[in-house]
Amino acid sequence: MRALLSRLIDVRHPDEDTQRRGRNVILLASGLSLLTILLATYSAFTGVLSLRVIIPIAVSLAVQTGVIILARSGRVNLAGSIMVGMAIAGTTGSALLNEDQFVIPVLFPVPLLVATAALHPTGIVVSLIGVLAGMGVVAGTLPPPESVLLRNALFVVTGLTCIFTALIGALISVGHERLRRRLHAEAQRADQSAQALQRLNDELDLRVQLQTETLQQMVQELEERSAQQEQLLNEITAQREVIRELSLPILPVGRDVLVAPLIGALDSERLHQLQTQAFQRVERARARLLILDVTGVPVIDTHAAQGLAGLIQGLRLLGAEVFIVGVRPEVAQTIVGLGILLRDVSVFSDLGSALESATMRLVER
């Protein structure tokens, strides 16, 4: 039932006020049609149903049906005007046909009530003019009754009632229209605010996305730089290892003979590296003799001399002898001055003499 009613009062028009007035027209026309049907039923049961009654009933039903169709299609002003005009014409015609100047004219405010529910303020004013014109037609057409003063007083009161009804209806319609416009303006402002907020949100999302992409790009660049730096550090470390190995080379010159030409100052790190490489190479090559060439060492201090002494002792534990080549006078003086004794260590002035002596010693063995 509710779905049927919703479909009946559905007005196909975009304007909300027009939809409201259209629903009023449909409900009023439906109510009048129902009353007309009840009147026809009553007339049939009472036996007064005649052609004079059937024709107005049929016309009324046809007009109300047309009014409902027009209102549902969105032509609300036309439908409301037809309904109001029909009410004015019906009231005027009934008064003229029945020659009634006292009862039926009292119903003239009814068309104005219909106009208030279905029309704009302008339509209400036009309806008031139509009602007053109908009252004038009734008063001017019918012969004067016996009680003219009573008739005139009744028409004056009815006219004033119509004017007052039209005034109230127009004021209500104007107030409703202003309220509707204000609500529409507020709705537009709210919609504009929502759109502005949406634009701000979109801009904020875009900025956040751009910043995120920028940060991701920066992080990626930092990761790439970090990887490059790590790779560079690894390369530098490898190059340092190569340089260290090249700065302290231990070269084979025979089956059992190794030569370690030393160049540059001997600090703690280089002495430790020299000991490590010498021990590893002697053990790996199973060498019997290691020749230390210190020609390129500018200064041998206490720490360097002690480091060389420790190297010699360690090589002896591995079963290898040690020759020292290139001991300059100042270096020899430093070693003697420090009180370091290099027992059982052969010392040569140049590498050739050391190699010759090493060859002879190995041949004798």
The answer to whether the pTM exceeds 0.75 is: no
pLDDT of residue 198: 92
Q: What is the pLDDT averaged over residues 55-74? A: 88
Residue 305 reports pLDDT greater than 90:
no
306 and 176 inside one domain: no
Q: What is the pLDDT averaged over residues 5-17? A: 81
> pLDDT confidence of 362, banded at 50, 70, 90?
low
Does some domain include residue 22?
A: yes
29 and 161 inside one domain: yes
Q: Structural domain tally of the chain?
A: 2
What's the CA gap between 13 and 77, in Å, rounded?
12
Q: What is the pLDDT averaged over residues 147-163? A: 86
pLDDT of residue 201: 92
CB 335 within 8 A of CB 297: no
Does some domain include residue 201?
A: no
Does some domain include residue 214?
A: no
263 and 155 inside one domain: no
Q: State the residue range of the domain holding 280.
A: 248-364
326 and 256 inside one domain: yes
147 and 269 inside one domain: no
Burial of 73 by CB count in 10 Å (0-12 exposed, 13-18 middle, 19+ buried)? Answer: middle
| Number of neighbours of residue 248 by Cβ within 10 angstroms | 21
pLDDT of residue 209: 92
Q: What is the mean pLDDT of the chain?
A: 84
> pLDDT confidence of 204, banded at 50, 70, 90?
very high
Residue 302 reports pLDDT greater than 80:
no
What's the CA gap between 112 and 115, in Å, rounded?
5
Amino acid identity, position 68: I
pLDDT of residue 48: 66
10 and 100 inside one domain: yes
> pLDDT confidence of 32, banded at 50, 70, 90?
confident
Percent of the chain with pLDDT over 90: 13
Q: What is the pLDDT averaged over residues 212-217? A: 90
Q: Helical H runs in the chain?
A: 2-8, 16-46, 51-72, 76-97, 109-118, 121-141, 148-247, 268-285, 302-317, 329-337, 351-364
pLDDT of residue 246: 67
More reliable by pLDDT, 294 or 49: 294
Does some domain include residue 232?
A: no
| 3-state SS assignment for residue 252 | strand
22 and 125 inside one domain: yes
pLDDT of residue 43: 73
Does some domain include residue 55?
A: yes
Residue 341 reports pLDDT greater than 60:
no
Helix axes 76-97, 109-118, angle to 10 degrees: 170
18 and 110 inside one domain: yes
Of 15, 4, 129, nearest in space to 77 by CA: 15
274 and 187 inside one domain: no
More reliable by pLDDT, 364 or 209: 209
pLDDT of residue 127: 92
What's the CA gap between 52 and 190, in Å, rounded?
59
Look at strands 321-325 and 346-348 and give their pairing.
parallel
List, for residues 105-131, the tens digit of each pLDDT value: 788 898 988 898 888 888 999 999 999
What's the CA gap between 328 and 293, in Å, rounded?
11
> pLDDT confidence of 270, banded at 50, 70, 90?
confident
Does some domain include residue 131?
A: yes
pLDDT of residue 360: 80
> pLDDT confidence of 244, banded at 50, 70, 90?
low
> pLDDT confidence of 58, banded at 50, 70, 90?
confident
Last residue of a domain, one of 191, 210, 237: 191
6 and 151 inside one domain: yes
157 and 288 inside one domain: no
pLDDT of residue 195: 92
Residue 364 reports pLDDT greater than 70:
no
68 and 168 inside one domain: yes
CATH number at residue 294: 3.30.750.24
